Amino acid sequence: MSKKVYIESYGCQMNFSDSEIVASVLVKDGYTPVKSAEEADLVLLNTCSIREKAEYTVLQRINEMNNLKARKKGLKVGVLGCMAERMREDLLEKKKVVDLVVGPDAYRTLPDLLSKVGTGQKAVNVLLSREETYGEIEPVRLDSNGVTAFVTIMRGCDNMCAFCVVPFTRGRERSRDPHTIVRECEQLVEQGYREVTLLGQNVDSFKWTSSPTPSPKEKGLSPAGISGERHSSPLLGRGAGGEVIDFADLLEMVALACPTMRIRYSTSHPKDMTDKVLVMMARYANICKYIHLPVQSGSSEVLNRMNRGYDRAWYLERMASIRRHMPECAISTDIITGFSGETEEDHQQTLSLMNEVVYDMAFMFKYSERPKTMAARKYADDVPEDVKGRRLAEIIETQKQKSAERMASYVGHIHEVLIEGVSKRSEENMYGRNSQNSVVILSRSFNGTELKPGTFVRIEIVRSTAGSLFGTVIQVLNEEPVAA
């Protein structure tokens, strides 16, 4: 009988993608993925350390595993991902329920570590790698709707944003061989998937070269003038240094190889987004017109303390360039309020930037100091919690208004929508997303025929809320996406 594994993922899309890599490694070792912890022989929690609340949620879940272990003899529990990297000693010494601790770069060693656990020992491997990309491993798609999928294109991060633990938990940046990325996307098409999201901590700094490896200076990671282009590099193109492919090139490769598949990506960094990427997005109809571009703060002084590598003016120029190339493009963002030293004037600058940009959507958070980060070492967490809370409430209220404005602007327009599944609120309706990543609610049938997930439809938007669009189907399209 095969062993059964249940993988529970927390945090970003990258963690969910990593869980599919873990599932692939374990399937080859004789495990079968199951849908609940109660039916498993091995429970793996793939964790997030980006905020204190995220870690607290996982720690509560680990405590719940004590009760499950008491009911299920022989059950093993492992912690994977960023918390495993950051809290390995505490997890093994203080959480007796934990048998296994594995960092993001050590998933290939899971079979050997589990063999050790099988002898009654605890096992740990949190070594970070400068080479590991899991590029040739074909993921096992977990909890898939069969329509959308994630493909990781790079791992780690070389940016040292003052508030962020990612460089410490996921290591240095390295890009995956683009030819393996294209092959994985082509396999998804063959399996019937209709949309892929290319994932990386900072996709705009994707750079793969067959030989030699470009230096940090050649990678041009600093803003280089108002155009948004990187510093020129002698390694760009196919020449003396070998084959070199940047993110814009990768987008084009995938768009051409998979013309019937929608392409999204996440996440971008304002200091690295080039006009070349925007040109590629505008050129190909199957590249979605949606960009998630975290600003974090509207104050140049706060951005400087955050070590973000750009200022307010740079960010707004990138916004203007996006609008020049793709007037229809939707933009979302991340905002942190209450960062060290943030004044009321800084906060007002964030609100004014939100009013100027008018984001479709935003992820908004109070600053949470993380151990070992630059901010924890250099700055006091000096904004009172009640002030953080009040500022966050104002940011949320501002975004609600802007989201409502953006959604209302779509009413009366025709959009191409990819149906993803049955609406959670009513089985009479389906839901999907347009190119701009807005959720669209539509009827479950058209001209007496039931609509299926994975179908592209043309819809007239008839009404909106701050979070969703509602539309009437006017045409069922062919297999391929035909419009932006």
Do 161 and 32 fall within a single domain?
A: no
Q: Kindly give the pairing relationship between strand 242-246 and strand 207-209.
A: antiparallel
Q: Of 382, 406, 430, which residue constitutes the final position of a domain?
A: 406
Q: How far lies 124's CA from each of 58, 68, 406, in Å?
A: 18, 22, 48
As to burial, measured by CB atoms within 10 angstroms (0-12 exposed, 13-18 middle, 19+ buried), residue 82 is buried
Q: Whole-angstrom Cα distance, residue 432 to residue 439?
A: 6
Is residue 130 one of the residues assigned to a domain?
Answer: no
Q: Do 235 and 295 reside in the same domain of the chain? A: yes
- Distance, CA of 171 to CA of 134 (rounded, Å): 14
Residues 93 and 162 grouped into a single domain: no
At a CB cut-off of 8 Å and minimum separation 6, what does 59 contact? 95
382 and 430 share a domain? no
- Could you give the number of structural domains in the chain? 3
356 and 236 in a common domain:
yes
Please give the helix or strand (H or E) that residue 298 lies within, else none: none
* pLDDT score, position 241: 56
- The SS3 of residue 470 is strand
Looking at the fold, whether 217 and 252 belong to one and the same domain comes out as: yes
104: containing domain: 3-125
Residue reference for tokens 């040292």 = 160
372 and 427 fall within a common domain: no
> What is the predicted pLDDT for the residue at 236?
38
Find, among 105, 99, 63, 114, the residue nearest to 81 by Cα.
105
Nearest to 221 by CA among 242, 235, 239, 207: 207
243: exposed, middle or buried (C-beta count within 10 Å: 0-12, 13-18, 19+)? Answer: middle
pTM of the model: 0.88
**Both 379 and 464 in a single domain?**
no
Phi, psi (degrees; rounded to nearest 5) at 290:
-150, 130
pLDDT digit string (tens) for the chain, length 484 residues: 679 999 999 988 889 999 999 999 999 999 999 999 999 999 999 998 888 888 889 999 998 998 899 888 889 999 999 998 888 878 877 678 899 999 999 999 999 999 999 998 999 999 999 899 999 999 999 878 899 999 999 999 999 999 999 888 899 999 999 999 999 999 999 999 999 999 999 999 999 998 654 444 334 333 322 233 333 333 334 444 578 999 999 999 999 999 999 999 999 999 999 999 999 999 999 999 999 999 999 999 999 999 999 999 999 999 999 999 999 999 999 999 999 999 999 999 999 999 999 999 999 999 999 988 999 999 999 999 999 999 999 999 999 999 999 999 999 999 999 999 999 888 899 999 999 999 999 999 999 899 999 999 999 999 999 999 999 999 999 655 544 4
Confidence (pLDDT) at 235? 32
